[in-house]
A and B are shown apart, each in its own frame.
Chain A
Amino acid sequence: MATLLYLLSLFLFRNAAGVAAATLWLFFLVRLSKVPFRYMVRGLRAIVMILALTAAFHLFLTPGETLVVIGKLTVTKEGAQNAFFLSIRLIYLILGSSVLTLTTTPNQLADGMEKALRPLQKLHVPVHEISMMMSIALRFIPILIEEMDKIRKAQLARGADFESGNLWKRVKAMVPLLIPLFVSAFRRANDLALAMEARCYRGGAGRTKMRPLRYRKADHAAYLVTAAYFAAAILLR
């Protein structure tokens, strides 16, 4: 939850005060999570290219007051500003969400979601089922990616061509990839349902938790602080 609000708040700030607040907050969160900073920065490596590219685009292509001219490229004041804020935003986006993913297991996440959405149960929203689906989906993503890769190779070995032709041709080339993937996903779902039933799964009622999510004072305080931060972000905008 807090992460979501934080990510939202990133898109709000437009000036230095906002950046300062976001920086402080992120620093505070990282310290709190006790995740080594080095570990988090590693996550940034993946986006360095995108970062450089978007920054460059904004730097050179935003119209406005001219600052410097390099050959044919013009750097404008607005461009520099945009590039700066956008890079900060992207970096903080990654750092902020990695705080979440590095400290919380998917199941805890699903548990938290289940708890947060509990009030909706009165409206007959199947909250437990939704969170169960979430955690199962998260677990099967890597398996399906691996499977996709296998199918791709199998089709390539049979002479399939995924790389040439125009967009339409390439999209059509994906069909023999997606159909086996869906078939196998359904088969997996069937197996999994059987396995879950064999282990006595029958929905949310009567279930206990190995590590029940109990909100202590600190957690309630965290909610308050997050709300306060969000309010501040809106004000500083």
Chain B
Amino acid sequence: MNLIEAGKLAYEYIIRDEEDNVTEILRALDGVDLQVGQGDFVAILGHNGSGKSTLARHLNALLTAEEGTLWIDGKDAMDAGNAWDIRKSTGMVFQNPDNQIVAGVVEEDVAFGPENLGIPPIEILKRVAKSLHAVGMSEYRRHSPNRLSGGQKQRVAIAGVMAMEPKCIVLDEPTAMLDPSGRKEVLDAAERLNREKGVTVILITHYMEEAVRAGRVFVMDQGKVVMQGTPREVFSQVEELRGYRLDVPPMARLAHELRKEGLRLPEGILTRQELVEALCRLS
């Protein structure tokens, strides 16, 4: 069985006015099917309001779907009683680095999760050291998070989730508030965890360049999964992506435009390196 199995998942936001009358029903998730295996690196793409963050919150049992099935690590997420168990299996990193760090010292924040799980102190110390090392933040363990850069704060947040030793971490637009170098730091850390520790990573983002790193990409639009496949498969369909108000990575787009102009370039070019090699082969 896969780590995450979702079938026909649906969730509605009900917007009420002051008198509690329903004014609008937003179907944020509309029949989502999703399978993620242990150790995968998956990206979920979508523009604002496509339902990707809502989906993320289901994976962490912060929201419970109204219809469909959702199994996480063998536990039924439709049953609200399993919420705490599910949160142990899937950790979550949020968008705003400041609003998810609880403690005033880096190591105390990383310890917050394991402390909540009731893990003995010696084990907590070990886990804190290990997870800070895994994201390359060991030397900052006694610093105040207020003095760290955005990328560093997000890495601390990842360490805080890792210290709970989940099987899967969900990163909900972790780089949206960061500068390019901070973005790279965070993605490198997530990729390393996936490669070296075998942790399943689900990256939710609207940056196409970030999704290129994933093994598999899901594209969401209006609460549905509309495309899925390897980054190469998905990003070669430039026109379709544009229909979902998404932009393909710059090099894939350049290759696409060149192909339209009559150059015989192969499909599925994603990086600058690949484009250069393909162009050299032409002449």
Contacts and interface: CB of A to CB of B under 8 A. Distances in A.
A137 B128 CA distance: 23
A201 B114 CA distance: 10
A107 B119 contact: no
Interface in A201-219: 201-202, 206-212
A201 B125 CA distance: 18
B174 interface: no
A194 B62 contact: yes
B114 A210 contact: yes
A192 interface: yes
A231 interface: no
Contact of B160 (A136, A191, A199): A199
B104 A139 contact: yes
Contacts of B146: 139, 142-143
Given A136-B102, A200-B84, A105 B116 contact: no
Nearest to A109: B104
A196 interface: yes
Contacts of A188: 96, 98-99
B92 to A, nearest CB: 4
Interface residues of A, number: 28
Given A105-B105, A106-B104, A199 B91 contact: yes
B121 A199 contact: no
B235 interface: no
A195 B99 contact: yes
Judged by DSSP, the binding face of A is: helix
Contacts of A142: 146
A200 B113 contact: yes
Given A200-B113, A200-B116, A192 B100 contact: yes
Contacts of A105: 104-105, 108
Given A105-B105, A107-B103, A191 B94 contact: yes
A197 interface: yes
Given A192-B100, A198-B87, A199-B91, A209 B115 contact: yes
A62 interface: no
A200 B88 contact: yes
A202 B85 CA distance: 13
Interface string A118-157: 0000000000000000011011001100000000000000
Given A192-B102, A200-B117, 10 more contacts: A107-B104, A139-B102, A196-B112, A199-B91, A199-B116, A199-B161, A208-B121, A208-B124, A209-B115, A209-B124
Interface of B: 60, 62, 84, 87-88, 91-92, 94, 96, 98-105, 107-108, 111-121, 124-125, 128, 145-146, 160-161, 164
Interface of A: 105-107, 135-136, 138-139, 142-143, 188, 191-192, 194-202, 206-212
